Amino acid sequence: MKKYSSEDIAELFKDIPKVSKAFYPTPLHKLENISKKYGVNVFIKREDMSGPSSFGGNKVRKIEYIVGEAVKENVDAIITMGGYQSNASVQLSQYCNLYGIHPIAVLGDNHNEGIPKERKGNLLLNSLLGTEIHLVVRKESPDDPNLNPLWEEVKEKIRKIMADYEARGKKIMYVPVGCTHPAGWVSYIRCFDEIYEQIKSYANDVDYIFHANGSAGSLPGFVVGKALKGSNCKVISINNRRYGPGEQVGVNDVYERIKYLYDKFNLECPSDEEIRSEINIDQNYLGEKYGAPTEVGAEAMIEAAKLEGLFLDPVYTGKSFSGLLSYIKSGKIPKGSNVVYIHTGGTGGLFNGYHVFNQKTIDFITREHK
């Protein structure tokens, strides 16, 4: 395949509906102290600083295309789903407000909190935004390790709200969990392009990208972006959600989305084997389940704050950064490599109270400072 310049990529995207309120390109900078400590060049791509508010994140890229489509289609309301502390829903509501679209979020009680007495973290931000919030609590099986019945109930609620809108002759758009709507899958091609251009002031190519992977809305774009730029980068996806039977998404979805992107842009598609070899999903750092804090995640949060003045969160970035550190320490990443860590956001969730942390982090933050 030919090598695509940023202008060539912009040309590919020129007819795709999009709104533009974020601060792109997001910054890329070197983590000097961590790089020095481990002998690997670690850079950070600040998707957490995407804007438009101070609580940005990786959903914003996708949302600019999703809302672009919604504006074009004159949509009256957008409905989405997630946990109480959904980052995606907050970022989506910001854009709804900017474009006069009514934001609705059906949020599931995925950590068995019941109805919260106080609104904190992302739920507070979502409330400030005026999102029409519906909380779904499942009382029947609080210890059910398979949370699918909760999400079935959430989806049923969404179907009812949508049917009601449509019966009133209004247009409502459904955006799946994590804002992983097909309209947004293209967006991480642009992010890879930004990284490839930004790394040029330090190196010829990026050797590794590490990112937190959940609903797989960003991973397909990285893989196709890499191919377009002719990069030899390896994309390592540290999962914060388990992939497997009965789960919402899996490796096959990633594969299908990559193929979809090649088709969408009429690009020559690599073989199935080649595509599959680009998908490197590592589930070893997510701990017991989605949202459950891990020991190494806590250590990574503390190390990032102490060495780099950087805030990570227990659900996504603490875990993905712990994956990166462990690859480096075990020598899986050769010394001198150029690694880009994607800060995917999640800062709003930090303010949900101590119960989101594990004991190690609580001991650290409540200790006497000397």
Ligand X SMILES: *Cc1c(COP(=O)(O)O)cnc(C)c1O
State yes or no: residue 345 binds ligand X (CB under 6 A): yes
State yes or no: residue 316 binds ligand X (CB under 6 A): yes
Q: Which of 122, 213, 231, 352 binds ligand X (CB under 6 A)?
A: 213
Residue 348 near residue 90 (C-beta atoms within 8 A): yes
Stretch that binds ligand X, among 34-42, 54-62, 202-210, 328-336 (CB under 6 A): 54-62
User: Residue 311, Cα to own-chain centre: how many angstroms?
Assistant: 16
Q: Buried b / exposed e across 27-39, counting CB within 10 Å, b at 16+?
A: ebebbeebbeebe
State yes or no: residue 187 binds ligand X (CB under 6 A): no
State yes or no: residue 50 binds ligand X (CB under 6 A): no
- Beta-carbon contacts of 70 under 8 Å, excluding residues fewer than 6 positions away, are 78, 99, 101, 173
Residue corresponding to tokens 């049923």: 156
50 vs 180 by CB, closer to ligand X: 180
Residue 90: CB atoms within 10 A of its CB come to: 30
CA distance 180 to 261: 14
Find the DSSP H helices in the chain: 6-12, 32-38, 59-72, 87-98, 121-128, 148-167, 187-199, 219-229, 251-264, 272-277, 295-308, 317-329, 359-366
Q: Which of 58, 122, 294, 326 binds ligand X (CB under 6 A)?
A: 58
Q: Which of 68, 108, 217, 270 binds ligand X (CB under 6 A)?
A: 217
State yes or no: residue 218 binds ligand X (CB under 6 A): yes
Stretch that binds ligand X, among 7-15, 21-29, 109-117, 341-349 (CB under 6 A): 341-349
State yes or no: residue 216 binds ligand X (CB under 6 A): yes
Q: Which of 231, 344, 352, 361 binds ligand X (CB under 6 A)?
A: 344
State yes or no: residue 56 binds ligand X (CB under 6 A): no
CB of 178 to ligand X, least distance (A): 4
CA distance 188 to 219: 7
Residue 42: CB atoms within 10 A of its CB come to: 26
Q: Which residue in 115, 125, 121 sits closest to 92, CA to CA?
A: 125
State yes or no: residue 346 binds ligand X (CB under 6 A): yes
Stretch that binds ligand X, among 10-18, 262-270, 275-283, 344-352 (CB under 6 A): 344-352
Question: CA angle, corner 338, sides to 241 and 87, nearest 5?
Answer: 30
Stretch that binds ligand X, among 64-72, 122-130, 144-152, 216-224 (CB under 6 A): 216-224
State yes or no: residue 212 binds ligand X (CB under 6 A): yes
CB of 161 to ligand X, least distance (A): 23
Residue 346 near residue 310 (C-beta atoms within 8 A): no
State yes or no: residue 173 binds ligand X (CB under 6 A): no
Q: Which residue in 141, 124, 42 sits closest to 89, CA to CA?
A: 124
Stretch that binds ligand X, among 67-75, 266-274, 291-299, 340-348 (CB under 6 A): 340-348
State yes or no: residue 80 binds ligand X (CB under 6 A): no
Q: Which of 214, 270, 293, 323 binds ligand X (CB under 6 A)?
A: 214
Stretch that binds ligand X, among 52-60, 134-142, 163-171, 263-271 (CB under 6 A): 52-60
Q: Is 147 helix (H, G, I), strand (E, B) or coil?
A: coil
75 vs 238 by CB, closer to ligand X: 238
165 vs 243 by CB, closer to ligand X: 243
CA distance 299 to 269: 41
Stretch that binds ligand X, among 22-30, 67-75, 127-135, 213-221 (CB under 6 A): 213-221
Q: Which residue in 236, 246, 252 sits closest to 326, CA to CA?
A: 236
CB of 177 to ligand X, least distance (A): 8
- Beta-carbon contacts of 22 under 8 Å, excluding residues fewer than 6 positions away, are 50, 51, 52, 56, 60, 61, 64
Residue 210's beta-bridge partner residues? 236, 341
Residues 263-302, interacting with ligand X (CB under 6 A): none
State yes or no: residue 88 binds ligand X (CB under 6 A): yes
State yes or no: residue 199 binds ligand X (CB under 6 A): no
- Positions touching ligand X (CB under 6 A) are 57-59, 87-88, 178, 180, 212-218, 316-317, 344-346
